[in-house]
Amino acid sequence: MRPIVEKADPGSSDSSAKVRGRGLTQETFYLRATRLARLSRGGDRHLTLVLEWEEGGHPFTIRDNFNQSLRASQRLLLEAGGRAHLLSASGRVLSQPATPEARFVSAFAEGPVKAALADLPPLRALLTVTSGAARCGRLALVDGGGKTRVSANLRELCPIDGDSIVLVTVGELRGYGGALRDLLSRLHACDAMPLAAGNLYRVMHPASMSYTARPSVEVRREDTAFDAANALIGAHLPIVRANEPGIVADIDTEFLHDYRIALRKIRSVLSLFKGVYAPEQTVALKARFAALMAPTGPLRDDDVYLLERRSFYAMVPDTMHGGLDRMFERVGQRRLAAWAGLADRLRGKGYIREIEALMDLFSRRKTLLPGPNADRMSQDLASELIRKRYRRIRRIAAGLTAGMPDDEVHALRVECKKLRYLIEFFGPMFQQDVLHDILKSLKKLQDSLGSFNDCVVQQAGLLAFLDDLGDEPRRLEIAQSIGALVTVLHQRQIVEHEKIVQAFAHFSGDGMRQAFRRLFHDGKDI
């Protein structure tokens, strides 16, 4: 358990969390409801604990997104009594009218809670972590003269399924630092945890699982390439599975996005770690994972179009918005059909049998067949793969001109993505400060390549959409809007191409080449 803090938070702008009296900070704590009575034991014998509860109760809901961004940032979003409360570890509490029907922060009513949640991923929906019944109360330590020395607001949360807890937000009366210390000591004795501890969800609901789309895989230098590949694939398969329910329920677009990225990284391991698995098995595994990926493309394409809706409207005059209205209406219908098809697939016995078989294959590993490079040390293989990829990127980009065909720019983008994955897979084995500089430069180049590719793909998609309109009654209106969009996108494509040239000039410069030599080739030329 983290000790109760007795130091200041000079950077906090929240006056309630600033140091008062004798250097004690205030925080929000939680403890199991069954331990609340223990607060009356021990402590200063001149201070008496008084607990008061309000009559009646009301439903409560704790909300967070699938990434548990609020838990990670040591905050708690609690909706109860028609209001939304945002509690921070420092004891700060913001409140405003609740909007329980709002799935995304953007749909919240304006207020301090919505403003404070602006840092959450905008595409992530807020889900119910747990719900149940709540009641409010107050705790005080009172001296012999009946004077309150310190007090705290209480919220008892009784979830439908799980253990009840009490949230304790401590307040202090100026000049009574000793009483505050006494209360903190009592909380400590009752195993109260600061909200910053981050495991409140699991205490209330043991089945609650944390999620990250970027699993931490410790690949050591002396590990064989075979073990490294197995560990990387084995770590990403649970990410695939974790996102299936969210795709089927169509909660938000990030479930499919994370699902695809996890599959893409698995396929990258199979593609990049040449010779680690037996050739026949490599071919078979590539085909099996490609078959999982293929049906997700149409839905993701439509998600991207709909996410870009606002920017598309901004590109064309208001007089052309009518055509876009109809276009997005059709895209929405198409997306619904794509989602229904994918959801049926993910629920189907065939898919479940296949994904479980792959999970079993990489957890047991008994039937995985080592290839000729299986026993190579990870660091040696990683250095060689990264060097080769960097050389290939420089070779392609050497012909980077204003007239370079789009497919060659796309090939450069794919190579950069593979290099990024390799560095992410093996990064912990190499000098971090140099690696950071490489990744920073690579990311800048990838951002420009991604923007360029988006322009190309969107133009092609819009023109294909136009060809597929058939006997659409508003075909002419839609065509005019699409024509305007394609013109703007083409201009943006030209601008992004210039940015790629500039970004690559840095990525292939002497400084970056020396960094690659130093990390991946013992200082030798690449």
Highest-pLDDT range among 4-8, 162-166, 208-212: 162-166
Nearest to 514, CA basis, from 525, 504, 505, 506: 525
* pLDDT score of 49: 92
d(CA 13, CA 16): 9
Structure tokens at 161: 């399924």
DSSP letter string, 421-458: HHHHHHGGGS-HHHHHHHHHHHHHHHHHHHHHHHHHHH
Question: Taking residues 210-233, what's their average pLDDT?
Answer: 91
Highest-pLDDT range among 1-5, 285-289, 448-452, 456-460: 285-289
Highest-pLDDT range among 177-186, 191-200, 279-288, 507-516: 279-288
Please state the pTM of the whole predicted model.
Answer: 0.85
Q: What is the mean pLDDT of the chain?
A: 89
Q: Are 483 and 469 in contact (CB under 8 A)?
A: no
The dihedral region occupied by 163, where left means phi > 0, alpha psi between -120 and 50, and beta the remainder, is beta
With the CA atoms of 140, 145, 147 and 153 taken in that order, what torsion angle do they form, in degrees rounded to the nearest 10? Answer: 10
* pLDDT score of 11: 32
Between these two residues, 230 and 395, which has the higher pLDDT value? 230
pLDDT surpassing 50 at residue 147: yes
Q: Are 114 and 120 in contact (CB under 8 A)?
A: no
Alpha-carbon distance values, 75 to 27, 32, 64 (Å): 11, 18, 10
- Confidence class for position 173, pLDDT limits 50, 70, 90: low
- Confidence class for position 508, pLDDT limits 50, 70, 90: confident
* pLDDT score of 447: 93
pLDDT in tens, 407-442: 888 889 999 999 999 999 998 888 888 899 999 999
pLDDT surpassing 60 at residue 488: yes
* pLDDT score of 64: 95
DSSP letter string, 369-428: -B-TTTTSBHHHHHHHHHHHHHHHHHHHHTT--TT--HHHHHHHHHHHHHHHHHHHHHGG
d(CA 163, CA 30): 12
d(CA 103, CA 444): 33
d(CA 12, CA 76): 18
Nearest to 167, CA basis, from 138, 145, 140: 138
* pLDDT score of 502: 85
* pLDDT score of 17: 38
* pLDDT score of 401: 75
Alpha-carbon distance values, 419 to 175, 240, 316, 425, 436 (Å): 60, 22, 37, 10, 14
pLDDT in tens, 33-46: 999 988 888 788 88
Pairing state between β 58-64 and 48-53: unpaired
pLDDT surpassing 50 at residue 514: yes
Among the ranges given (145-149, 232-236, 400-404, 492-496), the one the predictor scored with the smallest mean pLDDT: 400-404
pLDDT surpassing 50 at residue 405: yes
What are the backbone dihedrals phi and psi of residue 31, each rounded to the nearest 5 degrees, phi first?
A: -145, 160
* pLDDT score of 256: 98
pLDDT in tens, 306-327: 999 999 999 999 999 999 999 9
Q: Are 26 and 90 in contact (CB under 8 A)?
A: yes
* pLDDT score of 26: 65
d(CA 4, CA 25): 9
Q: Are 497 and 410 in contact (CB under 8 A)?
A: no
- Nearest 5 degrees, angle CA 276-CA 417-CA 223? 30
Find the helix or strand (DSSP H, E) in which 28 lies. Answer: strand 28-32
Nearest to 382, CA basis, from 525, 526, 263, 229: 229
* pLDDT score of 44: 83
How far out from the chain centre does Cα 303 lie? 18
Amino acid at 152: A
3-state secondary structure of 97: strand
Between these two residues, 254 and 200, which has the higher pLDDT value? 254
* pLDDT score of 25: 52
Nearest-10 crossing angle of helices 406-426, 475-507: 60
- Confidence class for position 495, pLDDT limits 50, 70, 90: very high
pLDDT surpassing 50 at residue 219: yes
Structure tokens at 173: 């009366």
d(CA 295, CA 303): 14
Q: In percent, how much of the chain has pLDDT > 90?
A: 66
d(CA 225, CA 229): 6
